[in-house]
Amino acid sequence: MNESAPQVYLLDVEGTVAPISLVSDQLFPYARAHFARFLERNETNPSVTADLTLLAQENRAEADPDAPHMAPVISKKTNPVILSEAFFSGVEGPAFRGAALAYFLWLMDHDRKSTALKSLQGKIWKAGFESGDLKGTLFNDVSAAFKRWAAHAQVAIYSSGSIEAQRLVFRHSIFGDLTGLITAYFDTRTGPKQASASYAAIAEAMKVEPGEVLFFSDVVRELDAARAAGCQTRLVVREGNAPVEDAQGHRVIDTFVHEP
């Protein structure tokens, strides 16, 4: 199949533009280590209270309380609003924060796709990036590639991490602020990364045809979904990524240097 010149360069983050270790060795441990102190420092922050309310709702909705790996219970109270209000209580506050921490860590340990978890992680990471404790570690060819592509097309990011977290990585990258080169960000609110409809929706949002989108990822099933939507694809093989036994016909690259 002849490929047209891409109008949108759409990129995954982990394993594609950033090492897998950025999340596993830097961001996740930072969130784990700073969650309790973050709650103590943000007792009067309405957005944090809203996240805790949602966290409590998610905790109450855990499907099987008798499961062998059941989630820690934040409280036996049924009203999540009361649970979040307990955050401010001098009596209940420490107990509530301790239970919230236990559930927060449980969600991370079980790789749960929790909206409340991602929002709280994003707030903790924001503080870390802005203080200089965290930096967006990217592969060496990323900055030059973004500048090259942005000169004649659009650069967009599609990651399972929240849009807020994506912006932090690129604003505070080891190459400086790259956000001026990025037109748009997408996360799983657009749709699952292994669903072809997600890529069709991204193409529509970017005002191009799917065939004008070139999607880069280290995950074959994501690339399969993008190809099913009509997008061009590249399987990115980076140091530290899991080995890929079958590329399923996707063109394999290990650098952006030769991509137009």
Q: What is the DSSP string of the chain?
A: -PPPPPSEEEE-SBTTTB-HHIIIIIIHHHHHHHHHHHHHHTTT-HHHHHHHHHHHHHHHT-S-TTSTTPPPPS-S-S-HHHHHHGGG-TTTHHHHHHHHHHHHHHHHHTT---HHHHHHHHHHHHHHHHHTS--B---TTHHHHHHHHHTTSEEEEE-SS-HHHHHHHHHTBTTB--GGG--EEE-TTS--TT-HHHHHHHHHHTTS-GGGEEEEES-HHHHHHHHHTT-EEEEE--TTSPP-S--TTPEEES-STT--
Q: Both tokens of residue 79?
A: 């009203």
203 in any annotated domain: yes
Total tally of structural domains belonging to the chain: 2
1 in any annotated domain: no
Q: Are residues 168 and 209 in the same domain?
A: yes
Sign of CA dihedral 110, 114, 117, 119: positive
Q: Are residues 141 and 89 in the same domain?
A: no
Domain end among 131, 151, 177? 131
Q: Are residues 99 and 145 in the same domain?
A: no
187 in any annotated domain: yes
pLDDT per residue, tens digit, the chain (260 aa), is: 568 899 999 999 999 999 999 988 999 999 999 988 888 888 778 888 888 888 888 887 775 555 556 666 776 554 445 555 555 554 456 666 777 888 888 888 888 778 888 888 889 999 999 999 999 999 999 999 999 999 999 999 999 888 988 999 999 999 999 999 999 999 988 999 999 999 999 999 999 999 999 999 999 999 999 999 999 999 999 999 999 999 999 999 999 999 98
Q: Are residues 98 and 142 in the same domain?
A: no
65 in any annotated domain: yes
3 in any annotated domain: no
CATH number at residue 48: 1.10.720
**Three-class HEC string of 98-119:** HHHHHHHHHHHHCCCCCHHHHH
Residue 150 CA to residue 183 CA, distance in Å, equals: 9
Domain end among 84, 99, 131? 131
2 in any annotated domain: no
Q: Are residues 153 and 244 in the same domain?
A: yes
Q: Are residues 186 and 88 in the same domain?
A: no
27 within 8 A of 121, measured Cβ to Cβ: yes
170 in any annotated domain: yes
Q: Are residues 14 and 37 in the same domain?
A: no
Domain that holds residue 99: 25-131
Q: Are residues 98 and 172 in the same domain?
A: no
Q: Are residues 197 and 125 in the same domain?
A: no
Q: Both tokens of residue 157?
A: 């990011």
Residue 180 has, within 13 A of its CA and on its CB side, a CA count of 5
Q: Both tokens of residue 102?
A: 């236990």
Q: Are residues 140 and 246 in the same domain?
A: yes
260 in any annotated domain: no
How far is CA 91 from each of CA 35, 59, 77, 94, 97, rounded to the nearest angstrom?
20, 21, 16, 7, 11
Domain end among 100, 131, 162? 131
Q: Are residues 14 and 141 in the same domain?
A: yes
CATH number at residue 228: 3.40.50.1000
Q: Are residues 110 and 176 in the same domain?
A: no
